[in-house]
Each structure stands twice: as structure tokens, then as C-alpha cells.
A and B are shown apart, each in its own frame.
Chain A
Amino acid sequence: MSRSPVDRQSTGAPGSEEGSVASALQDMSDGGLVVAIARYREEALAEAYRRHAGAVFALARRVLVDLTAAEEVVQEVFLRLWTQPDKFDPDRGSLRSYLLAQTHGRAVDLLRSDTSRRRREEREARQTAEAGYDLEHEVWDLAVADQVKQVVAVLPPAERRAIELAYFGGHTYREVASLLGEPEGTVKSRIRAGLKRMRTALKSSDLTDTDLAWS
């Protein structure tokens, strides 16, 4: 299978066998896709890639900065879905959040094993924190959809900054505490409180995981 999953919608005449398989895939839930992947259906992996690889790539790129390393993480995450689809547990959340958690974990591992990059990132973060500038200001503004921005807007600045440094900066909470000059316990609590605050805002908005997955 060499054609791009991105283009797949245009292939296969409606009503043809290929068209109906493609259509069945497009309508299939993520859970159904993973079952098909477990049965070694490459086109199901292609559909999962079409739905989620954009977000996976964007997160890897955000954390690692380096384009090549980010692409390697994307490749690794989807090949892992292919070889170990049973690691995905639908009872524990959506496929998208599973893939993104895998992506983040792998990206952070790479970042932490790369000491030179680490030093550079810490230096940048410290400068940023000292300057009182939101490290991920640009990302929040450019890449996050309006509805997501509304949800993020519920965060007090201190919670937002701690989450940014931990999630996009790939720092441990101890490092975040050191960067912000705050007690470790405070940072831990702020991150947890901020995540809960956003969750509540998400639940009260009409924004669903499905909306995001299909955007």
C-alpha cells in the first residue's frame, strides 16, 4: 500500500468494492479501526493515520522542535499501533489520547536522553520565565482552534505556565518548580488543578473528542 492515506477518499468509485471498503473505514469508530488493525488490515492503519497523525506530528514537533526526530516519533507510534494494537484499551480513553500519550512519552524520553538539547531547552525556558513571556504563546495562538482556546482561557496564568512547561517543554514538575522559582508541591497542585479546570470547561462546551478527531 503505497498511496497516501490523505488522498484515499478520492480513490475507489462510489459503490465499487474499493469504494465501499473505504467508506466503511471512514465511518468506522476508532475501536473498530483498531480491531481491523489487529487483523493486519493496512488500510485501517492508513485510516487511523489519516485521522490522528496530524496531531501526533504536531505534538512531537512541539516537544522535540527537531523535524526529523518528530517524524521518527510519528513513525514509531504508528508502527507500535500496528505491532501491538492490544496495548490500546478502549476502556481507558480514546485512540487519539492513547496515541498522543505514546507520542508525548516517547518525545520526552528522547528529550531527556539528549543532554545537550536539554541544556538548551532549559536555558531557553529559564530566559522565557524570567522575561515573563509565555513559552508557548505562539502555539496557543496559531495552532489551537478557537474552541480549544476558550477552554484554555479558563486557566489562571500560573496554572497555564506550569502546564506549558511540563507538557510542551517536556520538563518534570521539579524542573518546572526550579524554572518558576516555586515550591514543587505548588507546581504539582497547579498542574492537576489546571487539567481538572480545563476538563470541566470541555465538558460544558460542545467540543468533543470526535470533533477534534475529524477536524
Chain B
Amino acid sequence: MELTHDEMEELLGVYALDAVTPDEAEAVELHLRDCPRCRAEVAEHRETAAVLAYAGSPAPPQVWARIAGTLEAEDSPPPWLDLARVVSMQDRPRGGDRRRSLPVRFVASMAAVAAVVIAVLGVQVSRLDERTDRLDAALQKEGLDQAVQAALFDETARRIELRSDDGVTFAKAVVRDNGDGFIVSDNLPGLSDDRTYQVWAIVGEQPISVGVLGNDPGVAAFTMSAPGVTVLAVTAERAGGVASPSGAPVVSGMLPVT
């Protein structure tokens, strides 16, 4: 279906409402791949339609029960991961000639099982990456606060309470497995423009700079890739940061043991 751009534009409203034939829908979708302006228009039409669909009725709980039931059913291990079935009772060594030949079969079958398990786990891990990578990138666009929310929600992330010696000044940090760290504090006092807060990971007794936070951080990101970190500390330094801390930490805290 060959259409001019003007003809294509005329279809955008009805396309957004699913009021086109399958041929027309296909033509519009092809066009949208290369036309950001038309993509934006369709997105706007859909947002408007979403407002029309608005209804104050509550979510139907009986449907949620069915959805939750389906998810729970999916939680059971897939049949091809059931190792007990792969090596059946009949194949167990019982004596005689079979005793010699079976271990080879057993090893071979276990190797096959291992290969399947590795492949399956590999697929699952890459699937999870696919599910999260693009969304993570999009999330970063939404801003730091959103990334912090995601980190706070991450159960595997380590949480650190940082305090000053007198306990008056405090901050919280969260570090994800990938090293992405965020520090949140609403009571670190603001510094002058020529100063900055800097965050240090202490490995043994060696401080390693993991981020320069600015003079009024509130929420700030840092990256902590070094292993064996026991303590996080924040110092006040000259703007731009320094190679090693010049004074005592403003706040510090121990990392939980993993």
C-alpha cells in the first residue's frame, strides 16, 4: 500500500483508535518506524483516547485472583528441569554387565542434563537482561530519583547508614550488585561553591574515591566496583575532588557483610 505522507497523516487518528483495516494498519506501522513526528502524533492520540476510556470503577478483584493463580502456576519448575525424571529408576546399576556400561551412560546423561541446565539458565539470564536493559536505560532518562527508587526496591542491593561521630548528620546509601550506588541525605549541610562532598570506599584501610557529589547533594549517584569494601565515608573537599581525603569523614558507615 503506497501512500503519500499527507495520506499517511490522515490515517493516524483512525489508526490510533484501531479503526483501520489490517492492510492500512500494516502500512502505518511501517511508516511509523521511520517517522518520529507521526510516532509522536499516534502517541498523543493514544494518550487522549486513554482519557476517554477513563472510568472510576475499581479493578475487578476476581480477575486479579486468576492472574495471580496463573503466575503461581508458572512458578513451578519447568518439566525439563526435573532431574529425577531424566535418570530413571530403570537405568540405575543393578549388577552384571550393566554395572560396567551404565556409569558411562549415567555420566553422559548427566553431562547432557548439565548442558541443558546451563543453556536454560543462560537463556533465562539473557532474557532477564533483555527485559531490564532497555527499561533501565529509559528509567535513567526519567531521572536520578527514579533510578534511586529502583535501587531501593532491589532486594539484593546493600544498604548503608552513614552517620557523623555525633550522630547529628546522617545519610543513607544503597549499592546495587552492579556497583551503581546512590547516596540520599537531606541534612548534609550545603558547602560553598569551591567545595564538594566526595564519597570514599574503604578497602582494608585504603580509601578509594568512588564519586564526587557536588556541594549540595541531596541525592547523588556514585559507582563502586572495587571488591572487599568495608566502609563508605563522605568527606568535604575542594571542588573537583581530591586523590585522597584531606580530613575526617563528615559521615561514614559500615557495609553489611554479604
Q: Measured between alpha carbons, how far is A29 from B147 in the docked complex, in Å?
A: 11
A79 at the interface (CB under 8 A from B): yes
Q: Are B135 and A92 in contact (CB under 8 A)?
A: no
Binary interface encoding of chain B residues 135-176 relative to chain A, with 1 for a CB under 8 A from any of its CBs, else 0: 110110110001001101100000000000000000000000
- Residues on A with C-beta less than 8 A from B135 are 31, 34-35, 38, 85-86, 88, 90
Question: Is B34 an interface residue when CB atoms closer than 8 A count as contact?
Answer: no
Q: Are A31 and B55 in contact (CB under 8 A)?
A: no
How close is B164's CB to chain A, nearest CB, in angstroms?
Answer: 24
A188 CA to B20 CA, complexed, in Å = 10
A49 touches B17 (CB 8 A): no
Bound CA–CA A71/B67 (angstroms) = 11
Inter-chain contact A100/B139, CB cutoff 8 Å: no
- Quote the shortest CB–CB distance from A67 to chain B (angstroms): 9
Instruction: With CB as the reference atom, state the residue of chain A lying closest to B143.
Output: A29
Chain A interface, number of residues (Cβ within 8 angstroms): 89
Q: A29-B146, A202-B51 are in contact. Are A143 and B57 (CB under 8 A)?
A: yes
A151 at the interface (CB under 8 A from B): yes
Render A158-196 as a binary contact track against B, CB cut-off 8 A, 1 for contact.
Answer: 000001001100111110100000000101110111111
B61-78 with Cβ < 8 A to chain A: 61-72
Question: Which of B17, B21, B49, B55 is A54 in contact with, Cβ under 8 Å?
Answer: B55
B5-13, B179-187, B229-237 - the one binding chain A = B5-13
Chain A residues with CB under 8 Å of B14's CB are 166, 172-173, 187-188, 191-192
A28 at interface by CB-CB < 8 Å: yes
**B103-144 residues at the A interface, CB under 8 angstroms:** 128, 130-132, 134-136, 138-139, 141-142
Q: Pick the contact of B60: A40, A46, A57 (CB < 8 A).
A: A57
Q: Which of A2, A89, A100, A192 contacts B13 (CB 8 A)?
A: A192
Asked whether, in the complex, the Cβ of B149 is within 8 Å of the Cβ of A97, the reply is no
> Within the complex, what minimum Cβ distance (angstroms) separates B128 from chain A?
7
Interface residues of B in 41-68 (CB under 8 A from A): 43-68
Contact B61 A6 (CB under 8 A): yes
Q: Which residues of B contact A151 (CB under 8 A)?
A: 51
Any B CB within 8 A of the CB of A129: no
Complex CA gap A50/B60 in Å reads: 9
Asked if A13 is at the interface (CB within 8 A of a chain B CB), the reply is no
Q: Which residues of B contact A39 (CB under 8 A)?
A: 128, 131-132
Asked whether B139 lies within 8 Å of A104 as measured between CB atoms, the reply is no
How far apart are A210's CB and chain B's nearest CB, in angstroms? Answer: 12
* Centre residue among B17, B45, B46, B61 by max chain A CB count within 10 A: B17
Q: Which of A25-41 contact B (CB under 8 A)?
A: 25, 27-29, 31-32, 34-36, 38-41
Quick one: which of B19, B39, B152 has the most chain A CB within 10 A? B19
Residue B16 lies at the interface, judged by CB distance under 8 Å to chain A: yes
Residue contact B56 to A215, C-beta cutoff 8 Å? yes
B47, closest chain A residue (CB): A97
CA distance A144 to B46 in the complex (A): 17
Interface centre among B46, B57, B130 (most CB of A within 10 A): B46
User: Please, which residue of chain A has its CB at the minimum distance from the CB of B12?
Assistant: A192
Q: Is B97 engaged at the interface, CB distance under 8 Å to the other chain?
A: no
Q: Knowing A6-B58, A32-B150, A86-B134, say if A212 contacts B51 (CB, 8 Å).
A: yes
Listed in ascending order, the chain A residues whose CB lies under 8 Å from chain B are 1-2, 4-6, 21, 24-25, 27-29, 31-32, 34-36, 38-42, 45-46, 49-50, 52-55, 57-59, 62, 71, 74-75, 78-79, 82, 85-86, 88-94, 96-98, 100-101, 103-105, 108, 143-145, 148, 151-152, 163, 166-167, 170-174, 176, 185, 187-189, 191-196, 198-199, 202, 207, 209, 212, 215
**22 residue pairs from A and B, CB less than 8 Å apart:** A1-B72, A2-B69, A29-B142, A29-B146, A31-B139, A39-B128, A52-B59, A53-B63, A57-B57, A75-B63, A75-B66, A79-B70, A90-B141, A97-B47, A100-B53, A145-B54, A145-B56, A151-B51, A163-B17, A163-B52, A167-B17, A192-B45
Q: In the A-B complex, list the 3 residue pairs whose CB atoms are closest, starting with the nearest.
A: A192-B13, A58-B55, A53-B59
